[in-house]
Structure formats: C-alpha cells, structure tokens
Structure 1
Amino acid sequence: MQLTAFTKDIKNINSIDFLNREHADKVLAFHKSFPMYKETPLVELKEMAALLGIKNFFVKDESYRFGLNAFKVLGGSFAIGSYIAKKLGMDISELSFEKMISPEIKGKLGSITFVTATDGNHGRGVAWTARQLGQKAVVYMPKGSSKERFENIKAEGADVTITDLNYDDAVRLANSHADEYGWVMVQDTSWKGYQDIPKWIIQGYGTMALEAYKQLPEKPTHIFIQAGVGALAGAVTGFFANVCKGKEKPIVTIVEPDTAACIFDTAKADDGRLHFVGGSMNTMMAGLACGEPCDIGWKVLAGYADFAIACADNVSAKGMRALGAPLAGDKRIISGESGAAPSGAVMELLMKPEYAQLCGRIGLNQNSVVLCFSTEGATDKKNYQSIVWDGKEASCTE
C-alpha cells in the first residue's frame, strides 16, 4: 500500500455548506418518504478492534439499502427527485415519494428518460428509481462488467448495454446520447456545465453519513472511505467536517485501487490540477475503477480529507474474508469488492509490522475509534465466492 497526505491550502478551501446537517436532514426526510426505506445497520466489531489494538471499529453495512444490496440508490434517487422538483419549481422538501407518483405530478412531467453509465450499483439505483416513478432508464456499462449486475439492472426495466469502453468513456457515451436524444444524464462525475445533478447525488449520499452519525455511540477518530470518482468520499468527508468541527473532525483517509487511484494521484501531485488515470484500470473493485475525479467531490476532499491510500486488490479481498468470517462475538458482514476496501486497508495497516510508520502518520493507536462504510454486499456472487471461498487475491499475511 502507498500513502500520501492532502496538502491543504487554507486560503482556498471551498465551502461545504451544501453538505451540512440541515441539508442532510432534508435528504434523509426525502428518503424516509419511500415506503421501502429502512435504516441500515451500523455494526460494532469489538473483537476485531481488540485484535487490531484500537479502541473500537464500526462498519456501516449498506447491503440492506432499499433491497438493492448497495448504497448507490441514495444518490440517484435524490438527484432524480431534485431534478423533478426543479422542473416543477418546487423545493425537494415538498416532493415526497407519494407525491412524485401521483397522477397530478406525472401529468405535469410527462415521459422522462434518465441515462447513466455504471459498473452496476449506480445504474441499478437509477433504473430502480425510474421504474418506481413510472419513467424510463437507459444504462451503459463498461467493458468486462459483471453479468449478474447487468441482469439486476435489466430486471428493473432499464435498457442496458455492456459496452467495449472503460468507465469514463462509457460516461462520455451516455452524455452524448443524453444530448442527442433529450435524455437526462444522472452521473456523479462532474464537469464544466454539468454540476447540479452530481451535486445532488453527493448530497443524496448524506443519508448514509447522517444515519451513521446518529447510530455511533461515540465520535470516530478515523474514517476510512473508498473512492471511485470521489463523490461518495466527498459526501462523507464534507458531512463529518460539518458536524465535527475543529479538533473533533475525524482523520479521513481515502482508499482506492492502485490501478485507478485518481484521487491519490491528484493529492500526491499537489499542483492544483485533477490527475486522470486512463486505460483499462484492471481491478476487481469494479465500483472504484474510475480514472477521472469528480471536481465537486475533489474540492471537498482537498480541504477536509487527510490521507489517501492506493492499494492492491488483495487488500480488499482480506476485508471481504475477515468481515464474512468474523471473530467469535462479532457480527458477520457480507461485503463486496468495493465495499470491503476500507476495512481491508485498516486491517493491513494494523496487522503488518511494515506499516507501523504509516499507522503513526495517520494516528492509529489504542485510542482510535474507526468508522468504515461497506457500500455493497455480494453484488457479483460468483466473484464473491471465488474470493471468499476459493482464495482468489490471497492477502499473503503471515
């Protein structure tokens, strides 16, 4: 694993007011209006914490989210709701699920097609939301996408295609078709002229952060959060920086695959530019195989994240196995390849002597209270079994 620190330019820190508690409460209220809403569990791993030599270890388990096995629907649904609210000249607080599916609102909206690119979880969330609202969804997936994730999206009624492109090029394809056909692009990647929907998606993820904050019996000293484009990482970092001011703010470490470490590379370069990773970005962490940072998420991370880690696939595999076969007394968590990366990184840091210096830099010690987010369950069961049952991507821990 490689570690780099974020160098903060205090004079140029961007506002994170859009991720404050007031906005998070509004987002949570929107999600609570869905009849299938249920708070996902925060799991306390006391025995793992004792083994690692820290005070406590918490993992937010998103495999229970809306029956979709991943957190992504939070962002897609809130963005779609916010888009509809803006189109109707309403505030999102006025637009509950019941109102969105009412004949009155549907009559005003007409037919809308939402389009997105995804490795699986985000596209499923967009397709699910569109189906719930009686609208259409078109989904493009990158080359090599899981057949199971494809079928899950198709089951939500979407027009879904696995392309021969990498993730970032699939995003460009979706956007070009949105422009050509008058569809609505729903993507957490942002660029000049495309800011509102990514911002709403980032805010949507605030439900997960707020739930965790309310569930925690004590404030975390450290948060490890995974990054693809950095939207989720920005959402969690921004929320906790708002509710935990000054010295109470947890130390935030971003975790990425070393083959798709665009946040790590941007932080390490520290030259004011976003750094892209191209090519196939081969990693089993499909949800994190993104080469181009979201500029909205990056602006939050640049001011409030502390460290970034680039890690190999076997780090995530270690997390998957340890969470799936826990120590006696700890609750089992089924965590997918992208979901287990932060937990795996924490375990590697604290269990391998060669990382003692990195632990010192991050401040991990016997007083640390660590929070991780398992953002997905086994969304590709065949691959999950090959890792957890058959030892694919062995961690090689002595």
Structure 2
Amino acid sequence: MAPDSNPFAMPLEHVQVQPAGGNAAQRVIGPRDFAAAWAEITAWEGYAPTPLVPLPGLAACIGVAALHYKDEGPRFGLGSFKALGGSYAALRVLAREISRQLGRKVPLAEIRQRRHRDACAAITLVSATDGNHGRSLAWGCRRFGARCRIYIHAEVSEGRAAAMRALGAEVIRIDGDYDASVRQAREEAEANGWFVVSDTSWEGYTDPPRDVMAGYGVMTREICAALPVPPTHVFLQGGVGGLAAAVAAGLRQHYGADSPRVVIVEPDRAACLFESARNGRPTAVAIEEETIMAGLSCGEPSEMAWEILREEARDFLTIPDALIPPTVRLLARCETGDPAVRAGESAVAGLAALIAARKSKALSVALGLDAASRVLLIGSEGVTDPDIFAAIMEGEDAA
C-alpha cells in the first residue's frame, strides 16, 4: 500500500492530559454496583462469557507484544456489549417503580420471574439510540414484560430499526441527530409518565446510567479473569463515555496501580470527549456529518462518565472514517493468521487507532507504545447491520 493511499498513514489528532486525582473509579460506580450486576446478569438464561480473542499475528505486524480483542458480537444473541447495560437498567427501573407502588422492596428476581406481570405491562420504558442500546432495552422489555418506545435519529439504518421492532419496540424516527433524539425521548417521557432508560446522564438523572455502566462491568470482569497479566494499554471507544468509564473503573478496581493506560478513541466527526479533555470540562460538539461509526455518533458526553474519565484517561484520539472499512476487512479476512472476527463499524475504532499510532513514531512515543506493550481492545459489536457489513466487505483496500 503506497504511503499516500494508506489511510493508516494519516496523522491522528491527539490530546494528552494529566489525569485528575480522585477516587471516581470507586465512588461514581463502586465495586458493589459491579458485583450486583454480575450476580444478576450471570443468572440470566443464555448467559455465557464472550470470547477474548488473542491476535498474535496482528500484534507482530504492528509491533506490540500482545493484542487481545474482546468480541462482544455473541452477547445474548443481540450482537453487542449493550445487551449488558440497557436490559439490566430496565430491570432495575422496573424494580424501583414496582417497589414504590407496593411500598416494599421488590427483588430483581421477582421481576425477572414475571411475578409482577400486570404491573410491568402498565409501564413504558423509553430511550434514544443509535441502535445497540435500543436493541438491548427492547430485549429487556420483552423479557420482563414492559412496553418499549425507542427514538432513533435520521441516519440510523433501517436494518437496526427493524431489529428493534422485531423485539416488540415501538420505533420513532425523528429528524435530526442522536442528541436531538435524546431530547425528544426525555420530553415525551416527562409528558406521558414514561421512564427513560438512558446510557447518558445529566443533572438529576443518574440511576439508570449508573445501572447501564454496572452492566458493562460484567464484560470487564470476564476480561480480567481471562488475561494472564494486566494489559499495559486499553483503547476504548468514546460515544457518550459510558463504555469507556465503566471499563476504566472496572480495570482500576481490579488492577489498582497496575491498571492499564487508558486511551479514548472517537470519530473526528463526533469528538465530544476529545473536546472535553482539551477544555478540561464536559463539552458538547455539533455533529455536522454522521460518522460510519454509528454507535459513536454522540455530541454530548455523559456527565457521570466524564467524572471517571477525567481521572482515569490520559490520552484522547480522533480517527477519520476512512480507517474503519479496512480495519473491518483486516479482522474478517484473517490475513495475519489470527482467527477471523466479524466486527461492526464501531467495534474496530480502537484497533484502527492503534494501527495508525504504530505507524507514527512520534505518536507511539507519546502513547508509550513499543514492542513490549500489551494492548486490550473492546470489540463492542459484531455484525449488527448485515447490509452495511456486506458493503464494507465488498470494498477493496488501496494497493
């Protein structure tokens, strides 16, 4: 591949910060939150740990000692890590509301066992989504017997909308972007007495986002149990920050001072965490053009997630969309001799950034990457839209 035609040779924007001191990784979402989610989710029918795939061939090609990819594609048959968050948060919302109605604490198991069928059927849970969170919420509502209403923005693919409808959700497509869909979901929920189950937090709204992040901790615990030694680096997708904050907090709680260096990766078209790092405070950005990384197309950071990331993340990178198709094909075609991995567009953001970083001596030095590095990647989704995946696979990388 000629240097001028190689998208990985493009320079990446990088902001490096000194992480703020504090205990947000213990305070915002604590060990008890993660433990409660683990106990509940691992009791669900169909639970199984997802693969932590070693990629030694690719590691050798890009010049690191080890590369592990947590493949969330098989998670509960829903195709992404979001299956752990939205559905668990839905269960917790239902338990809180029915506890209020009955005047006693209702255990989660009673909701899961459908012992409050009529009460659940009268409750409507709503959220905005780029696809995967809504699919998880719809699945949880069907499992627990609640009504589900999902708001999607104009650029969400019809394939992802159809997947939510197939799970029983009412899907409302709006004009505008993800952040506009979040606002409309909030407004209509408040007007109708519905319950928002969001993966992003705002002032006065923290319980469901904390529950969502607690659900993600199941994935992190599986990773820590499978890794023989701590990674030196973890590359984490941005979005509103919930995934990154949950993983960073879980790794800190498990590894302590040996926790890996946290590198946040975002699309250059939706870089709210990057701008937050640059400004030292939560910063919203206007999305002028949608990114191919649909799950990361978020303009406003979660305030709760930012509390953790400002203390745990040291590096923030943005990547162009041009890196995504060749990275998807690289994993699927297993040209390095590693197992084939079928990944969605948002899943490969961390790997794309890592490859590009290793092609730049200056950026590798800035990130502390070298031949001894052991890198953890979160493959956040599998093929959640087969049509998009097929179109990517039909493309060819420049020679």
| TM-score normalised by the chain length of structure 2 | 0.92
Letter in 2 for 1:236: V
Tell whether 2:323 aligns with 1:318.
no
Show the counterpart of 2:341. 333
Match for 1:139: what amino acid?
A: I
* Aligned pairs (5 A) from 1:357-396: 357-391=362-396
Residue in structure 1 matching 2:108, options 72, 92, 95: 95
Contact 1:19-1:242 at 8 Å conserved across structures: no
Aligned to 2:5: none
Q: Which runs of 4+ in 1 moved over 6 A?
A: 89-92
Secondary structure, counterpart of 2:74 in structure 1:
helix
Against the structure 1 CA distance between its residues 358 and 280, is the aligned structure 2 distance closer, same or farther, given a 3 Å change threshold? same
CA distance in structure 2 between the aligned counterparts of 1:15 and 1:368, rounded to whole angstroms = 24
Aligned to 1:179: 190
Aligned to 2:252: 241
- CA distance 1:371–1:91, shift in 2 (3 Å): farther
Q: What displacement does 1:20 show? A: 4.3
C-alpha contact (below 8 Å) 2:213/2:243 kept by paired residues: yes
- Alignment pair present for 1:169 and 2:180: yes
CA–CA distance in structure 2, aligned partners of residues 314 and 64 of structure 1: 26
SS, match of residue 306 in structure 1: strand
SS at match of 2:91: helix
> The residue matched to 2:68 in structure 1 has which SS?
strand
Shift of 1:104: 3.0
* 2:72 corresponding residue in structure 1: 62
**1:121 pairs with one of 114, 132, 138:** 132
- In the TM superposition, 1:261-280 aligns within 5 A as 261-270=271-280, 273-280=281-288
CA distance in 2, matches of 1:29, 1:310: 36
Residue in 2 that maps onto 1:308: 316
In structure 2, the gaps of 5 or more residues are 1-11
SS in 2 for 1:104: coil
1:144 aligns with 2:164: no
Amino acid at match of 2:375: V
- 2:378 aligned partner, one-letter code: F
- Per-residue CA distance 1:99-156 (angstroms, 9 max, x = gap): 3243533345452111011111110110110011111100110112101001000000
1:184-223 equivalences in 2 (<5 Å) = 184-223=195-234
Question: 3-state SS of the aligned residue for 2:85?
Answer: helix
2:37 aligned counterpart, secondary structure: helix
Return the alpha-carbon distance in structure 2 between the equivalents of residues 231 and 265 of structure 1: 16
Q: Is residue 319–residue 345 contact of structure 1 (8 Å, CA) maintained in 2?
A: no
Q: SS in structure 1 opposite 2:94?
A: helix
Q: Which moved more, 1:46-55 or 1:14-23?
A: 14-23
TM-score norm. by structure 1 comes to 0.92
2-structure distance, mates of 1:361, 1:41: 30
User: C-alpha distance in 2, partners of 1:126/1:239?
Assistant: 23
> Against the structure 1 CA distance between its residues 45 and 159, is the aligned structure 2 distance closer, same or farther, given a 3 Å change threshold?
same
Query: Over residues 28-50 of structure 1, what are the superposed CA-to-partner deviations in whole Å (9 max), with x where a residue is unaligned?
Result: 22111211111110000011111
Contact 2:88 2:140 in 1 (8 A): no
Of 1, 14, 18, the residue aligned with 2:24 is: 14
CA contact (8 A) 1:166 1:280 kept: no
Give the Å deviation of 1:15. 5.2
Letter in 1 for 2:82: K
Structure 1 residues 203 and 101, CA gap change in structure 2 (3 angstroms): closer
Distance 1:193 1:344 in 2: 36
SS at match of 1:329: coil
Percent identity reads: 35
- Paired position in structure 1 for 2:50: 40
**Distance across 1 between alignment mates of 2:137 and 2:246:** 18
What RMSD over aligned residues (CA atoms) do the two structures have, in Å? 1.8
Counterpart in 2 of 1:231? 242
Amino acid at match of 1:375: S
Task: Give the stretch that moved more between structures: 102-111 or 321-330.
Answer: 102-111
Number of aligned residues: 384
Structure 1: state its 5+ residue gaps.
Answer: none
How has the CA–CA distance of structure 1 residues 46 and 193 changed in structure 2, closer, same or farther, with 3 Å as cutoff?
Answer: same
Report whether the alignment pairs 1:75 with 2:88.
Answer: no
Q: CA deviation at 1:380?
A: 1.7
